[in-house]
Amino acid sequence: MLPRAISRHRLLLVAVTASAAALPAVAIAAPAAAQSTVHYVALGDSYSSGVGAGDYYSSSGSCDRSANAYSVLWANANAPASYTSVACSGATTSSVIASQLSALSSATTLVSITVGGNDVGFSSVMETCVLDSTSACVSAIDTAEGEISADLPGELNNVLTAISADAPGARVVVLDYPDLYDLSQSSGCIGLSTTDRTDLNQAADQLDSQIQAAAGRYSDVFADVRSTFAGHEICDSSSWLHSVNFFDIDESYHPTATGQADGYYPVFSAHA
């Protein structure tokens, strides 16, 4: 268990609200010679904005859009006719609808999104698991799993319906979240108990299952990153995920720059 000296206020910064969504979006102009007809918009939360990957655009403020995010890497490699990222740390399905969908239009041909973790209180669950007992952690996870089952399907329906309405001709790629821990290495890994880690992974799988089901309901593309991150989770020697980062608490439990480049980017690229 980690020291209680880590303040709850600081840990809550892991999922700051999307109030900074009015800040300028990241936009990269394609070279004049580019012949691409792809108009790409990246939506979503911190896993899409690139929290944990470093090299943040100052113009994005607390949205923490990184030059190492998978959407930027794809745009750099493929030179779409246009690219805009409005992904923002802390985004929920409702804040995506309220603050991000204005970036879409009938001309948009490609959309990517990660969303849902903040709707079910990901940061609050992780705060409890880091600071409190295993029983408190398991209880918080149980509450989140109830929300995943009862509330999240409708919330995902709302955001995917809105995307379809605002970008009716777009290919929508819905990415999920990696499992946080390699449970096969848990016995020699400091920090949370194996019970906590097992339940967190199970909750992540339930979250991903709901995301996959929602994508299927709307004939969107589901892009699963879990197998790509396998062997590179927390407790692995070559983890692509931050554990608790005392020097930059916002980055805790988010992909590193390598996680964006080798975990998210190839999966998105294969489905874009």
Distances (CA, A) of 195 to 1, 129, 146, 205: 13, 11, 19, 15
Three-state DSSP class for 218? coil
Among residues 104, 74, 92, which one has the least CA distance to residue 267? 74
Active site residue 254: yes
Q: How far apart are CA 44 and CA 153, in angstroms?
A: 16
Assess contact for 131 and 69: CB atoms under 8 A.
Answer: no
Looking at 7, 36, 46, 60, which residue is catalytic? 46
DSSP 223-237: E--HHHHTTSSBTST
Is residue 147 within 8 Å of 205, Cβ to Cβ? no
Catalytic residue from among 39, 232, 242, 254? 254
Question: Mind telling me the catalytic residues?
Answer: 46, 254
